[in-house]
Structure 1
Amino acid sequence: MAESPIYTAEQFLEARLELPDAGRWTELVQGKIVTLDPPDIEHGTIVLNLSKVLSLYLHQVDQGYACFELGLLVNRGPDTVRFPPAAIFNSGNRFEETDKVISERKPTVIVEIASTHQRRQLMSDHVNDYVQWGVDLIWVIDPPKQEVLEYVAGSESQVIDINGKMTGGTVLPGFAMKLKDLFAEPVWW
């Protein structure tokens, strides 16, 4: 059986258009294309709820911006490209990464959602990549447990339960979101 080819991030970007759903649910892991399970409805609800609160916060502080499903080139040789649901940038020109498909710029905050069994299994690899890359704050949202695992650079990780809230600490000063609001079904639902 032939070995699957090793792709660079640039080759992956071209090849993914030929994949089912134009490669929307794929990542590049050490040069190999990995297909992920599509996210579920709860995943979409969480992104919607978080994006509303993030948008208000980012407008109030008038700095930084969020990108959704932006490919992040977290490692070269062999290349690894992750597509977290949200990445927040607090440096560089505002909205600089917004129109890109893949970026090599490191965001300040990454939000992941462990919404399917496969995504839950792969989450430690994602978090390890982000930690090694030097991301300041990582939130891993766990819908089945209704909790968030928070990783802050230079600190111990902590679990926030449904009665708690996500705060930005020194990374996103003044940001706060109750987990009950994060997991709430939209009113129009």
Structure 2
Amino acid sequence: MAAPTTTPETLNPDHIDKSGDKLQYMTLEEYASLPEQEDGYTYELVRGAVVREPGPSWSHRLLQFKLGRYFHAWIEEAGQGEVGLEGDCILSENPDTVRIPDVAVLLRRRSTDNEPGGWVRGAPDIVVEVLSPSNTPRQMRERMDDYFGAGALRVWIVDPTARTVVIHRPDEASMLFKDGDCLEDPEVLPGFVLDVAELFER
């Protein structure tokens, strides 16, 4: 690893910022042993560096919950799969990357019993990220590259301001859904239909 690791009991705020200029480095095992941080930020491990971003707002969490509920209903009907909110996913090792998608859909159950932190290994089949004001296009492109590189089939980018959902595929094709549209992706979610206007209703 390019930088020395640090004792994982605490995160040094002086060595962590979302710009990536000053970062605290640690291994996957050290990161997994960290106590829960209660400072209102979200932390991820990106190529061995701990990266901090502002925690989600209330409206952001409402969208996560609604999307999780829609996916759960589809999974119940399909009789297989799992959905989780803000679950750590081990995307790569050496360098180590752990991302926390807003919503993660597994089309088949995966065992996490022997994984660090009890986390999912590999990308979820479907990843949903809800945009926050702090997100930049570069950040989102990097996140998508990490997810697709680890095997994701789809990455949804939900934009609450524009009231749109863009479904990205590994081949760089994408589908845009906006107010008034019914979102469908029968190739990976047969029978799943989402009213985009309903998603953004409060």
Q: TM-score, normalised by structure 1?
A: 0.83
Specify the SS of the correspondent of 2:56: coil
Deviations 1:33-53 (A, max 9, x none): 111111112211211221221
Alpha-carbon offset, residue 19 of structure 1: 3.9
Pairing partner for 1:47 from 56, 59, 64: 64
Name the residue aligned to 1:70. 87
Whole-angstrom distance in 1 between the partners of 2:158 and 2:31: 27
Deviations 1:137-164 (A, max 9, x none): 1111111111111112336112211222
Specify the SS of the correspondent of 1:43: helix
* 1:109–1:136 CA contact under 8 A, matched in 2: yes
Name the residue aligned to 2:161. 144
| Greater CA drift, 99-108 or 144-153 | 99-108
Alpha-carbon offset, residue 102 of structure 1: 2.4
* Ranges in structure 2 where 5+ consecutive residues have no aligned partner: 1-13, 16-21
The AA in structure 1 aligned to 2:90 is L
Whole-angstrom distance in 2 between the partners of 1:72 and 1:57: 22
Name the residue aligned to 1:31. 48
The AA in structure 1 aligned to 2:83 is A
Deviations 1:68-109 (A, max 9, x none): 11111112111111100111111245xx45996522143211
| Greater CA drift, 138-147 or 152-161 | 152-161
Name the Cα RMSD after superposition: 2.6
Name the residue aligned to 2:104. 87
* 2:71–2:105 CA contact under 8 A, matched in 1: no
Q: 1:20 to 1:168 in 2, by over 3 A?
A: same
Q: 1:36 to 1:5 in 2, by over 3 A?
A: closer
Specify the SS of the correspondent of 1:48: helix
Name the residue aligned to 1:9. 28
> Which structure 1 residue ranges, 4+ long, deviate > 3 Å from structure 2?
1-5, 18-21, 96-101, 118-121
Q: 1:6 to 1:154 in 2, by over 3 A?
A: same
Higher relative contact order (CA 8 A, sep 6+): 1
* 2:122–2:151 CA contact under 8 A, matched in 1: no
* 1:109–1:135 CA contact under 8 A, matched in 2: yes
Aligned length: 181
Structure ranking higher in helix proportion: 1
Alpha-carbon offset, residue 18 of structure 1: 6.3
Whole-angstrom distance in 2 between the partners of 1:107 and 1:154: 17
* 2:124–2:151 CA contact under 8 A, matched in 1: no
Pairing partner for 2:182 from 150, 165, 189: 165
